[in-house]
């Protein structure tokens, strides 16, 4: 689950249907555990000409959260990780920073 990432075209906040379906499956897995919260972290690229910014990363996360809530997921199960930052993927420097990453946070009872 921690390896799930959704990649975007530079400057874009829209996602393919296949990536959206993968996000729905991931969110449902987290929602099936009452103590889990899905954190959506919007990333942005600092590459010159990328048309990305901190706001782009945040919009990516908020748009995905809105899609999940519209699909019926409980908004209290989802956390938007903000502020966004530009972070590479350790060991995989060729992968785009124009993406959304996911974490599952477990709350102690």
What domain range includes position 33? 5-106
Q: State the pLDDT confidence band at 70, using cuts at 50, 70 and 90.
A: very high
Going by pLDDT thresholds of 50, 70 and 90, the confidence category of residue 66 is very high
Note the pLDDT of residue 84: 66
Looking at the structure of the chain, the number of domains it has is 1
> What count of residues does the chain have?
109
DSSP string covering 56-101:
HHHHHHHHHHHHHHHTT--GGGEEEEEEEE----TT-TTS-SSEEE
DSSP-based three-state secondary structure for 35:
coil
Q: What is the CATH number of the domain that holds 71?
A: 3.30.1330.60
């Amino acid at each position: 689950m921690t390896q799930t990432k959704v990649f975007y075209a530079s400057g874009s906040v829209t996602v393919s249907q296949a990536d959206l379906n993968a996000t729905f499956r991931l969110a449902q897995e987290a929602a099936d555990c009452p103590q889990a919260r899905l954190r959506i972290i919007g990333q942005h690229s600092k590459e010159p000409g990328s048309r990305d910014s901190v706001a782009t990363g945040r919009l990516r996360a908020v748009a995905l959260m809105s899609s999940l809530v519209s699909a019926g997921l409980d908004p209290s199960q989802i956390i938007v990780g903000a502020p966004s930052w530009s972070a590479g993927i350790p060991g995989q420097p060729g992968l785009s920073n124009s993406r959304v990453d996911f974490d599952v946070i477990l709350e102690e009872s």
